[in-house]
Amino acid sequence: MKTPQWTVKVSRKYNPDRTVVAYGESAPAVEANVIKSLREDYGIWDASAIEVIGQIQGLRG
């Protein structure tokens, strides 16, 4: 089974807010993953807040 995708809003101090996609089994796990990878994966150095918006629903066909 695939790890769920989540939409995460990153509020920034000096630049416009940004929405990123992160992976994790739960909202707290996603938040921890985003915190660890903001600088390396997303290039965000001025994050002031992180909000997990919700899980992305996959299409089944």
- Cα 5 to Cα 26: distance, rounded to the nearest angstrom: 10
Which of 47 and 61 is assigned the larger pLDDT? 47
pLDDT digits (tens, 9 = 90+) for 7-57: 999 999 999 999 999 988 999 999 888 888 888 888 888 889 999 999 987
Q: What is the dihedral of CA 37, 42, 43, 44, to 10 degrees?
A: -80
Domain residue extents for the chain:
5-55
